[in-house]
Amino acid sequence: MFAKPVIPALAAFSILCTTAVAQEVNLYSSRHYDTDERLYSEFEEMTGITVNRIEGKADELIARMEAEGVNSPADVLLTVDATRLARAKAAELLASIESEALETRIPAHLQDADNEWFGFSTRARIIFYDRNDVSNPPQTYADLASPEYKGRICIRSSTNVYMQTLLAAIITHQGEDAGKEWAAAVLDNFARDPQGGDTDQLRGIVSGECDIAVSNTYYFARSIRTDVRGLSEGRDMIGWVFPDKDGNGAHVNVSGGGVARHAPNRDNAVKFLEYLASDSAQAYFSAGNDEYPVVDGVDVAASIAALGEFRGDDVNLSEVAENVPAAQRIYNEVGWE
């Protein structure tokens, strides 16, 4: 367990503890992690601001906000993946905000260019492999396309936002032609048709269905912290690679949020986002859900530290999100279901 860190004395954050009367903030969240309860309860304890939650899938929440229009009670949208955050921005559901605390503490490449959303935790999308059967594991995302791995890779469907964003990052760096060539070659290396979530790809290694899988780090780290059926018992047979250490670095995505354009409690919404960038909240993201904090100096949980240090791709995620439509088109063209 983490010892509860001391929150640094940020001028912009000090207003959190001065609320004299009961207030509220309405949170629309697609994060479905039980451990986030501690995030909300600490914010309420510190500020006296009640967190009212509406939870659901990201696309459903975005559609709901669109339908509610100017009468939407939403103050904050909290979701995972820059793709969904960009979708909310494109639908004009988020507001640009000014916050010295957020600008200072969150790295620039994890912020929207117009300050409409901010990333609060990250996860790397990396390569896992069977230690027993793979003597020469892929060291880059490009290596996944090598004929050496034909019939050996388990990976998710093209409709998954994590896969869309990974290909969008490749397109951002190398262009659409390179992205299409990569997608077609990886498709040819499938061990099975895409099925299930990231944990299912890792289970595929344990069951022997595949030798190589692609997954976000926190799915594997969770199997270190707690028992994950079909994975924890076979975890020792799985090795991992943080790809592209000599190139762009490992692909990193965010869990993030923004203030709703028609927020009835805008000031409280900004306070809530600033709280998510505090040392205390950052430690909860890591300890509770095996994610990486975005703020420098905050310790990571033991489960994620066990994976080792790595260099992440610092490409601006706003640019990556712009290439998501191209990524989905390419997946469709090559037949990646």
Q: For residue 134, what pLDDT is reported?
A: 98
H/E run at residue 171: helix 161-174
Q: For residue 37, what pLDDT is reported?
A: 86
The gap between the terminal CA atoms of the chain, to the nearest Å, is: 41
Q: Which residues pair with 255 in a beta bridge?
A: 80, 121
Q: For residue 288, what pLDDT is reported?
A: 87
Structure tokens at 166: 């990974």
Q: For residue 14, what pLDDT is reported?
A: 42
Structural domain spans, the chain: 11-122+254-305, 123-250+317-334
Q: Cβ of 132: how many Cβ atoms within 10 Å?
A: 12
The answer to whether 178 and 216 are in contact (CB under 8 A) is: no
Sign (positive or negative) of CA dihedral 105, 108, 111, 112: positive
Looking at the structure, give the CATH architecture of the domain made up of residues 123-250+317-334. 3-Layer(aba) Sandwich (3.40)
Q: Please name the residue that has the structure tokens 């869309």.
A: 164
Q: For residue 19, what pLDDT is reported?
A: 40
Q: Do domains 11-122+254-305 and 123-250+317-334 have the same CATH topology?
A: yes
Strands 292-293 and 238-241: unpaired
Q: For residue 67, what pLDDT is reported?
A: 98
How many angstroms separate the CA atoms of 27 and 61, rounded?
Answer: 10
10-residue stretch averages of pLDDT, the chain, 337 residues long:
36 42 86 81 96 95 97 96 93 97 95 95 97 97 98 97 96 98 98 97 98 97 95 97 97 96 98 97 92 94 96 94 95 97
Q: For the chain, how many residues are written? A: 337
Q: For residue 237, what pLDDT is reported?
A: 97
Count of CA atoms in the C-beta half-sphere (13 A) of 249: 10
Domain 11-122+254-305, classified CATH 3.40.50.970, yes or no: no
How many angstroms separate the CA atoms of 181 and 42, rounded?
Answer: 48
The reported pTM is 0.90
